[in-house]
């Protein structure tokens, strides 16, 4: 991101959140850059890519998928992935790089549906050299520009693959993206697959801000469209849930909210490159404030349709949302059993709260006002466990609480010097075994003096 774009983004944040929050955010951002947290992952090595190309050639010669992707793939067929790309007056260099990234894929069973709603012939001209020799690329000229949702739906009518992947017209894929996606599909028989992503500058020369996503996280999805790119979905499911134009700008978020929340596969590799340039959402989400509003509307409709008594407010980070449950999360949602938040010292540094599988503390040492990587510290999300010293539970779990901690929930006296990690982990795991989620709530804070 250029200095000018960075300044513009900071000023937008200042207008929304005020000086104090902006200072904390800027300090956190500078430290993240100094620590290398904003540097993207190294791309796959040439050796790894060569091995994938060799594996693809073996598949083409009739090798069974399990010999390439593992025994879980036995009896399955390598899927054809149809990449949908609606385009409108796309710059030739962007489109050429997009198509070139598909031509460079180590997995060859794909097609590109390029749905062009442009008034000029620029997109067609840029695509023509590729169309002349690669039958996997299909160019469709749309008679009118109906917007992102209608254009994508129109493109979907030409799909012949078993899965659909969405690719924005100014972005591009890592060369191993479809190979890794196919492997995930074959191993899990998923309906939805997503990968990690990063951003690149306008010239695709510098890569930064990797979004290393969690495996499927329901509450994080209710806070923002963290899945975003690369999104791959079974063709039948995608066609059954056409994009809705009233949510243009957040049409993929609306799609994911309406989709089933089972059989979802996450590939934890940066395989999608989101280009930043003047006017792009990647450069500054504030450039498309209508998208944030569309996402809020989609989330409100989802909650209402599922009988969840709540309202949605814009969070301090553009494109993120706060769900306000009435009268509380336990009443509004029967799936939530435990919530917990930050435990801080007198300097407002996190010393406890969210626990990982091994009992270590997530966000340890951070200022309680920071937002953390991809704003997860500042955003409600599901987690393994939370520290009992900053915990709330639903009434149905009081008996389990008594069993694990040896006293009633109301009477339990917690000593600040006692390590409750093992008991907290045991309690939250047993609650999960009963079907209850543990949810991180950034608004819950316990300060130990």
Domain boundaries, the chain: 1-34, 46-285, 332-447
What is the three-class DSSP state of 270? strand
Give dist(CA 57, CA 86) in Å, integer: 30
The distance in angstroms from the start CA to the end CA of the chain is 40
The pLDDT score that the predictor gives to residue 386 is 98
Q: Which two tokens stand for residue 124?
A: 């067609």
CA angle, corner 419, sides to 415 and 424, nearest 5?
A: 100
CA angle, corner 214, sides to 208 and 435, nearest 5?
A: 165
The sign of the dihedral angle between the CA atoms of 260, 265, 268, 270 is: negative
For the chain, the helix, strand and coil percentages under 3-state DSSP, each to the nearest 5: 40, 20, 40
What is the three-class DSSP state of 22? helix
Kindly give, in sequence order, each residue whose CB lies less than 8 Å from that of residue 414, ignoring residues fewer than 6 positions away.
Answer: 388, 389, 420
The pLDDT score that the predictor gives to residue 397 is 98
pTM for the full predicted model: 0.91
Place of tokens 């972005």: 171
Per-residue pLDDT of the chain (449 residues; tens, 9 = 90+): 555 555 556 666 556 666 666 766 666 666 666 566 677 888 999 999 999 999 999 999 999 999 999 999 999 999 999 999 999 999 999 999 999 999 999 999 999 999 999 999 999 999 999 999 999 999 999 999 999 999 999 999 999 999 999 999 999 999 999 999 999 999 999 999 999 999 999 998 999 999 999 999 999 999 999 999 999 999 999 999 999 999 999 999 999 999 999 999 999 999 999 998 765 555 555 556 899 999 999 999 999 999 999 999 999 888 999 999 999 999 999 999 999 999 999 999 999 999 999 999 999 999 998 988 889 999 999 999 999 999 999 999 999 999 999 889 987 777 777 889 999 999 999 999 999 999 999 999 999 87
| DSSP code of residue 239 | H
The pLDDT score that the predictor gives to residue 418 is 80
Residue spans of beta strands (DSSP E) within 182-309: 192-200, 207-211, 231-234, 264-275
DSSP-derived pairing of the beta strands 264-275 and 354-355: unpaired
CATH 3.90.550.10 at 46-285, yes or no = yes
DSSP-derived pairing of the beta strands 192-200 and 264-275: parallel
Give dist(CA 287, CA 213) in Å, integer: 24
Burial class (CB in 10 A: 0-12, 13-18, 19+), 118: middle
- The answer to whether 342 and 442 have CB atoms below 8 angstroms apart is yes
Q: Which of these, 89, 224, 213, 235, lies nearest to 155 by C-alpha position? A: 235
């Amino acid at each position: 991101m250029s200095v000018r774009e960075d300044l513009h983004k900071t000023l937008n944040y200042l207008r929304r959140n005020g000086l104090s929050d902006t200072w904390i955010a800027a300090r956190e951002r500078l430290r993240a850059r100094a620590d290398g947290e904003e540097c993207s992952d190294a791309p796959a090595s040439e050796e790894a890519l060569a091995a994938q190309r060799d594996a693809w050639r073996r598949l083409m010669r009739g090798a069974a998928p399990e010999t390439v992707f593992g025994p879980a793939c036995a009896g399955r067929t390598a899927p054809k992935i149809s990449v949908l790309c609606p385009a409108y007056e796309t710059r030739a260099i962007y489109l050429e790089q997009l198509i070139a990234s598909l031509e460079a894929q180590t997995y060859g069973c794909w097609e590109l549906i390029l749905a062009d709603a442009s008034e000029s012939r620029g997109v067609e001209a840029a695509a023509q050299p590729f169309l002349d020799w690669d039958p996997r690329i299909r160019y469709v000229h749309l008679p009118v520009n109906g917007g992102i949702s209608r254009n994508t739906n129109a493109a979907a009518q030409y799909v012949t693959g078993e899965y659909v992947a969405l690719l924005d017209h100014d972005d591009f894929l890592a060369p191993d993206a479809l190979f890794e996606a196919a492997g995930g599909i074959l191993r899990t028989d998923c309906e939805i697959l997503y990968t990690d992503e990063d951003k690149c500058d306008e010239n695709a020369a510098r890569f930064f801000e990797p979004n290393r996503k969690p495996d499927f996280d329901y509450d994080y999805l209710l806070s923002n469209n963290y899945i975003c790119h690369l999104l791959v979905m079974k063709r039948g499911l995608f066609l059954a849930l056409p994009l809705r134009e009233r949510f243009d700008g957040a049409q993929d978020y609306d799609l994911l909210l309406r989709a089933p929340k089972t059989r979802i596969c996450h590939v934890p590799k940066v395989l999608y490159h989101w280009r930043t340039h003047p006017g792009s959402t990647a450069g500054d989400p504030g450039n498309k404030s209508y998208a944030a509003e569309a996402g809020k509307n989609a989330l409100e409709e989802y909650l209402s349709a599922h009988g969840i008594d709540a309202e949605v407010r814009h969070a301090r980070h553009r494109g993120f949302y706060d769900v306000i449950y009435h009268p509380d999360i336990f009443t509004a949602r029967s799936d939530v059993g435990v919530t917990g938040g930050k435990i801080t010292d007198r300097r407002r540094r996190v010393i406890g709260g969210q626990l990982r599988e091994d009992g270590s503390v997530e966000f340890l040492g951070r200022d309680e006002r920071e937002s953390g990587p991809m704003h997860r510290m500042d955003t409600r999300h599901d987690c393994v466990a939370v520290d009992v010293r900053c915990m709330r539970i639903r009434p149905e779990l009081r008996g389990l609480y008594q069993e694990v901690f040896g006293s009633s929930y109301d009477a339990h006296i917690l000593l600040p010097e006692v390590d409750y990690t093992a008991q907290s982990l045991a309690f939250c795991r047993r609650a999960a075994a009963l079907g209850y989620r543990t949810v991180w709530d950034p608004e819950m804070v316990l300060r130990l003096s």
